Amino acid sequence: MLLTRVQKEEQVKNMTASMDTSKAIILVNYQGLKNKEIETLKENLRKQGIGFQITKNTLFKIALKNAGLAVEDSLLNQPVAIIWGLEDEVTPSKIAVNFKKEAEKLQIIGGIINNNFADENTIKQLAALPGREELYRSLVGTLNAPMYRLVNALQGNLRSLVYILDQYQKQRS
């Protein structure tokens, strides 16, 4: 589909705005993926509130320049799709790396993490970290542990008291 100049300008404006608000921008080469695989990737990302966009590299380069970010031109000499991680850096990385295991033709080119270029290895290292939800679960478990121990200790004292009273009653009888 051919885009008019106004549509291209609007797309560049939207990408520039997304770059300003995104914590993670992951670039992937989607060449060789089947349409069904791309739709599956989009669905996985959408469930987590992460954006996915296929755009022309020239428009992406202009948006990068407008946002004051830099990526090597040699990386953008291939079909590139953009994964926009607005809330955290780990979740988009995890989804991309895990999807690469399913669809081997997906190539992670690199990305921009907190306004700095990150290569494929950095993206893989981010994917190995626990996600935001996992950290929340761990934090809640850590916070609940002392209360759980306190309740068990108090119940133990009550059990002992009941046992002592029961023994006292048996002795009196």
What is the full per-residue pLDDT of the chain (173 aa) written as tens digits? 677 889 989 999 999 998 888 889 999 999 999 999 999 999 999 998 999 999 899 999 999 999 888 888 888 889 999 999 988 889 999 999 999 998 889 999 999 988 888 899 999 999 888 877 888 888 888 888 888 887 777 787 777 878 888 888 888 87
pTM given for the model: 0.74
- For residues 28 and 96, the answer to whether their CB atoms sit within 8 Å is yes
Domain match, 155 and 72 both: no
CA distances from 20 to 46, 63, 85, 101, 123 (A): 20, 10, 11, 30, 19
Domain that holds residue 49: 5-129
Count structural domains, the chain.
2
- For residues 78 and 109, the answer to whether their CB atoms sit within 8 Å is yes
CATH number where 115 lies: 3.30.70.1730
- For residues 116 and 59, the answer to whether their CB atoms sit within 8 Å is no
Domain match, 72 and 143 both: no
Domain match, 163 and 79 both: no
Domain match, 31 and 92 both: yes
At residue 1, the pLDDT reads 62
CA separation for the pair 85, 32 (Å, rounded)? 24
CA separation for the pair 104, 33 (Å, rounded)? 9
Domain match, 88 and 103 both: yes
Both tokens assigned to 154:
């108090």
Helices (H), the chain: 5-21, 35-47, 57-67, 90-102, 120-128, 132-172
Domain match, 96 and 77 both: yes
CA separation for the pair 8, 163 (Å, rounded)? 80
